[in-house]
């Protein structure tokens, strides 16, 4: 039975250096290991099945040799082990697909959160600038009003 490293299939990432290149290399290695496990387990099943068929051929004597019976049991057990290994591999692939989907979703959520935080900062800056401009315009208007002739007329009237 082939006992390789557990994991899932990884998609290709961009070339370059850093975490993305390291993740791509790790995913490629994991994919290679999984393919080797699948090929080994399937070869094991086929090999044991062919040996089982060869041992199970009907011989002239009606009574089978105990060694042949043992060989049949051993080959059948090895087939079951290889099939179990394939089932475990399928389970690992499903889990990896689910968890990588969550990881991808989390990455997307984190990216959107950063974008929204940047947008919020930009909006705050714009609102602050608009507030400062409004305050400056209001001061200018107050200054014009206080120095205007209309105000001086209103102050002269009783």
DSSP 105-124: HHHHHHHHHHHHHHHHHHHH
Residue 13 located in a structural domain: no
User: Could you give the count of Cα atoms lying within 13 Å of 69 in the half-sphere of its Cβ?
Assistant: 5
Please, which pLDDT band fits residue 90 given cuts at 50, 70 and 90? confident
- Total number of domains in the chain: 1
Assess whether pLDDT exceeds 90 at residue 128: yes
Residue 3 located in a structural domain: no
Task: Identify the domain containing residue 127 by its residue range.
Answer: 25-152
DSSP 32-60: HHHHHHHHHHHHHHHHHHHHHHHHTSPPS
Task: Count each helix (H run) and each strand (E run) in the chain, helices first.
Answer: 3, 0
Residue 67 located in a structural domain: yes
Residue 9 located in a structural domain: no
Under 8 Å between Cβ of 8 and 100: yes
Please, which pLDDT band fits residue 61 given cuts at 50, 70 and 90? low
Burial category of 48 from C-beta neighbours within 10 Å (exposed 0-12, middle 13-18, buried 19 and up): buried
Residue 42 located in a structural domain: yes
Residue 32 located in a structural domain: yes
Q: Which of 12, 9, 38, 7 is nearest to 25 (CA)?
A: 12
Residue 14 located in a structural domain: no
What's the rounded mean pLDDT across residues 98-118? 82
Among 19-23, 29-33, 56-60, 108-112, the minimum mean pLDDT is found in 56-60
152 vs 60: which has the higher pLDDT? 152
The pLDDT mean for the chain works out to 77
Residue 1 located in a structural domain: no
Say what percent of the chain tops pLDDT 90. 21
């Amino acid at each position: 039975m082939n006992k390789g490293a557990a994991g899932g299939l990884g998609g290709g990432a961009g070339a370059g250096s850093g975490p993305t290149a390291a993740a791509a290399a790790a995913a490629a290695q994991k994919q290679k290991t999984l393919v080797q496990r699948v090929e080994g387990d399937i070869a094991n099943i086929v090999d044991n099945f062919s040996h089982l068929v060869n041992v199970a051929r009907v011989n002239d004597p009606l009574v089978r040799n105990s060694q042949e019976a043992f060989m049949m049991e051993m080959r059948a057990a090895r087939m079951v082990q290889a099939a179990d290994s394939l089932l475990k591999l399928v389970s690992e692939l499903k889990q990896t697909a689910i968890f990588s989907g969550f990881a991808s979703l989390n990455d997307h959520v984190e990216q959107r959160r950063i974008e929204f935080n940047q947008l919020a900062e930009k909006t705050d800056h714009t609102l602050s600038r608009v507030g400062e401009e409004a305050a400056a315009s209001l001061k200018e208007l107050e200054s014009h009003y206080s120095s205007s002739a209309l105000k001086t007329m209103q102050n002269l009237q009783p």
